[in-house]
Amino acid sequence: MSLEMMDEHERGERVRRWLHDNSGSLLGGIAAGLLCFFGWQWWQDSSLQAVQAAATDFRALSDAAERKDVELIDTLSKSLKDNHPETAFSAMAQMQLAATRLAANDIDGALQALETAENTAQNPNLKALARLRIARVQLAAGRADDALVSVGTLPAAFRGIADEVRGDALLASGQREEAIKAYEDALTHLDPGAPTRGMVQLKLDDVGAVTDVLAGKS
């Protein structure tokens, strides 16, 4: 299974590149919004400076990822984890670190980084994305049972993607009928325009055809 081709990974990469290209204006918008919401006094404790520092480190990490500078990715992701664990940049850095480790076939290292991302992420969607990637890595590592447990904890907003991964895990476990049901559930819960719908339909068609052959149907 190629994790690089997974839809949510591709979306994550587009987000990462957008953050890299727009970090200056993004920081301005974040600062303005937070100042209005929390008030000036909240910023007296240098929280704004911390966010700016985290954003700077994440932009440098994004550049390192483009260059495939593994050593610098390790250094910057650790810096963000140690110094700015409360920011979204820290969790995103851990997910980038996981991708780097996975590319080096370091499954345990990738899972460790993703678990750190999940445990430190403050945003529930970011936390769920880390959990989804954990399930993907577990499945790619042949740990279908673990992947089933992981996708079972995802929130309703991730139901369609979770159903697809559940179908993959069930199929890997030899549970074809259950996999068919999971893929059907995925098509039910995915948005009509979701780019993964075509792939899910192909999986469903393939599993259904094989199941018919095994059952002796024409």
User: Rounded to whole angstroms, what are the CA distances from 92 to 13, 40, 98, 110, 182?
Assistant: 10, 27, 10, 13, 29
SS3 content of the chain, % helix, strand, coil (to 5): 85, 0, 15
**Is a pLDDT exceeding 50 seen at residue 123?**
yes
84: Cβ contacts below 8 Å, ≥ 6 apart: 50, 51, 53, 54, 57, 90
Q: Tell me, what amino acid is at 142?
A: G
Q: What is the pLDDT of residue 50?
A: 83
Flag whether pLDDT at 68 surpasses 70. Answer: yes
Residue 160 has pLDDT above 90, yes or no: yes
**Average of pLDDT values for 94-104?**
95
Question: What's the pTM value of the predicted model, to 2 decimals?
Answer: 0.74
Looking at this protein, which amino acid is placed at residue 67? Answer: R
Residue 139, both tokens: 């499945």
Tell me how far apart the alpha carbons of residues 141 and 138 are, in angstroms, rounded to a whole number.
Answer: 5
CATH architecture for segment(s) 143-218: Alpha Horseshoe (1.25)
The pair of three-digit structure tokens given for residue 49, joined into one six-digit string: 């400076």
Read off the tokens for 2: 């190629």
Q: How far separated are the first and last CA of the chain, in Å rounded?
A: 30
Model confidence at 148: pLDDT above 80: yes
Q: What is the pLDDT of residue 82?
A: 95
What pLDDT does 57 receive?
94
| CB-based contacts of 165, cutoff 8 Å, min separation 6 | 132, 135, 136, 139, 147, 151
Residue percentage of the chain with pLDDT more than 90: 67
The pLDDT tens digits of the residues spanning 2-34 come to 444 445 555 555 555 554 555 444 444 545 554
**What value does the mean pLDDT of the chain take?**
82
Each residue's pLDDT tens digit, 76-91: 999 999 999 988 999 9
Instruction: Lowest mean pLDDT of 74-88, 132-146, 199-213, name the range.
Output: 199-213
* Domain definitions of the chain by residue range: 1-141, 143-218
Distance CA 145, CA 134 (A): 12
